[in-house]
Amino acid sequence: MRSRQRMFAAVMRLLLKCLRLGRRRRFKLVRQVEQLWHYGHLCLRSLLYNSFTNGDVVLDSLFEPVYWLVDHVTRWFGVVFVALVIGLTSSIVAIVYICLLPLILQTYTPAWICWHLAYGHWNLIMIVFHYYMAITTSPGHPPQAKNDLTGVSICRKCIAPKPARTHHCSICNRCVLKMDHHCPWLNNCVGHYNHRYFFSFCLFMTMGCIYCSISGWEMFRDAYAAIERMKLLEKERLQVAANQTYYQTPPPTFSFRQRAFHKSVVYLWVLCSSVALALGALTLWHAALITRGETSIERHINRKERQRLQKKGKVFRNPYSYGSWDNWKVFLGVDVPRHWLTRVLLPSPHLPHGTGLNWDLPPCVMEQRAPLLAI
């Protein structure tokens, strides 16, 4: 009996000893993991610490893979976007010529027919001309040599002189003179030499879409009602055919040509109205920038500069703004009154003022303004 008690006590002591040993090992392992964690954290902070690092730098670093993905996707899909613009525009023009123009010639008065033909073809010519020029015209790039370039900085990516208002495009991988943005619908940058073509294309495309939406409103209502009537009659026809034999099935109520006509009118109105809203908002945005003498990139730069100087009690002044009216004259290249007709209302391949390397006072500006950043 005593031998059994001794054996049981020995087993219990051995078990308690094993438990204490396991607990010590666990505590030792936890301490080692904690030490390794603190050591790794200290090494990481010692390698990455920078006194200039703030929340903006960290956010930009986190979004860097997103920027890289957008840049590469935009570069490869530019051709697809251009083909999409050409395809959609061509489909609208084809519908107008095949479906709407014969109806206009049959129902409208001669005066309205002349107005539609004149305005429609003029608008189409302006759209095609400015889109072609915006795609094929280079936005302008600064020379790689430093000859005759005064007051320039150095691009951190190109390691080359960068004149005023010039910015680096990560998609084109080049510096662009007076860069506004990279447009995937053009597969090209919008810069000094094609900024006017881009804005004119947006303006005339918006005008064309509004013209089609307003002119085709009554046709759209009739076509939509006809499509709803076709769906109802088709449903009734199928219900009747279900109770009859194959040879007693009634013929279709509407022909294929009628269905295609009504659906084409609905497609035209919906597409033109959607583009008019989206592109119209973009056109108004760029019109406001042109009125202030800014580009899309300069707006953000000037806003930060305005806030910085405001804290110091100073007033920011844009050195490239000559007043609302003169800004439009400089942008459109209007030097004399007749240019409003020959250069604005008619297709014109004239070059903008200046070379994009320096920004002297244009000849169309009547009053010179002091090019001061702050007063």
- 183 as an active site residue: the answer is yes
Query: Dihedral of the CA atoms 122, 125, 128, 130 (nearest 10)?
Result: -80
Q: In whole angstroms, give the CA distance from residue 236 to residue 239.
A: 5
Residue-wise over 230-246: b if at least 16 C-beta within 10 A, else e? Answer: beeeeeeeeeeeeeeee
**Structure tokens given for 363:** 């000849």
Cross-strand partners of 183: 188
Q: Quote the CA–CA distance of 326 and 313 in Å, as a whole number.
A: 28
- List the one residue out of 299, 289, 293, 93 whose CA is nearest residue 209: 93
Specify the DSSP class assigned to residue 246. G
Residue of 290, 297, 284, 372 whose CA lies nearest to 323 = 290
Q: DSSP 3-state assignment of 316?
A: strand
Closest C-alpha to 140, from 114, 104, 175, 168: 175
Q: First CA to last CA across the chain, in angstroms?
A: 106
Q: How far apart are CA 19 and CA 42, in angstroms?
A: 35
Q: Are 358 and 319 in contact (CB under 8 A)?
A: no
Cβ neighbour number for residue 204 with a 10 Å cutoff: 21
Cα-Cα-Cα-Cα dihedral sign, residues 63, 140, 334, 321:
positive
CA 241 – CA 249 distance, rounded (Å): 5
- Give the tokens for residue 226: 């006809």
CA angle at 175 for the pair 173 and 180, rounded to the nearest 5°: 105
Which 8-state DSSP code applies to residue 99?
I
Q: Catalytic residue among 99, 183, 212, 272, which? A: 183
**Residues with catalytic annotation?**
183
